[in-house]
A and B are shown apart, each in its own frame.
Chain A
């Protein structure tokens, strides 16, 4: 158990819809990262937050947004969903110096 909690585990929805994925980091970790893993691909970095502030952005679509709340949990919002958004979405957290620890992911299926 990495200590990073992601909900829900599975999400099935239709094209054009909007969903919210939630992540609770490990206790004490200020940094939260979001990654996307599409079929047979490596993990692709989306966005990082540090103590409530956006720290870095990767290949995140404009239809996607994220935020980190005062209690340090984070949400990833995906809107106007397309078939190609079907993927595993992972959240990771870390202390300032140290490895990132991952949750078990949310599997998003767009029908």
Chain B
């Protein structure tokens, strides 16, 4: 039962353009959503999060949008840089309990 889904295994974007990574969830109990970035041979690095009471959160080049009615969130990276090339995981939880992760999207920024 995949409660958090990232349907695009990979995405390629030109340097300087916007990268948009998508995530869908099925569990209405989730109240906290996070994005992690992962390089090979390293652990996931926390990027940005959003509470279910908000619909947008911004941190520098990274913005997360939450559409609760559609059970959908997205991560926007503007402008995309070569160092952004990594695997991005969407995750969700409720009550500060375990994280449920998507299977990840590999983002490649083309110089």
**Cβ-neighbour of B49 out of A4, A40, A99, A103 (below 8 A):** A99
Contact-residue size bin, chain B (C-beta under 8 Å from the other chain): 20 to 34
**Cβ-neighbour of A42 out of B42, B43, B45, B102 (below 8 A):** B102
Rounded to whole angstroms, the CA-CA distance of A58 and B100 in the bound complex is 10
The answer to whether A56 touches B97 (Cβ under 8 A) is: yes
The answer to whether A103 touches B43 (Cβ under 8 A) is: yes
Q: Which of A14-22, A76-84, A90-98 contacts B (4 or more CB under 8 A)?
A: A90-98
**How far is the CB of B10 from the nearest CB of chain A, in Å?**
13
The answer to whether A102 touches B96 (Cβ under 8 A) is: no
Contacts of B104 in A (CB 8 A): 42
Please, how many residues of chain A have a CB less than 8 angstroms from a CB on the other chain?
29
8 Å CB interface, A21-49 against B? 31, 33, 35, 40-45, 48
30 of the cross-chain contacts (CB-CB < 8 Å) are A2-B43, A2-B45, A2-B46, A6-B43, A33-B98, A33-B99, A35-B101, A40-B103, A41-B103, A42-B4, A42-B101, A44-B101, A45-B100, A58-B98, A90-B43, A92-B43, A92-B99, A94-B96, A99-B34, A99-B49, A100-B34, A100-B99, A101-B46, A102-B43, A102-B44, A104-B41, A104-B42, A104-B43, A105-B42, A105-B43
Which residues from chain B sit less than 8 Å from chain A, CB to CB?
4, 34, 36, 41-46, 49, 89, 96-104
Ranked 7 nearest A-B pairs via Cβ: A102-B43, A45-B98, A42-B101, A42-B103, A43-B101, A99-B46, A104-B43
- Beyond A41-B103, A43-B44, list 20 extra A-B contacts (CB 8 Å): A4-B43, A31-B96, A35-B99, A40-B103, A42-B104, A48-B98, A55-B97, A56-B97, A56-B98, A58-B98, A90-B43, A92-B43, A94-B96, A96-B96, A97-B96, A99-B46, A102-B43, A103-B43, A104-B43, A105-B42
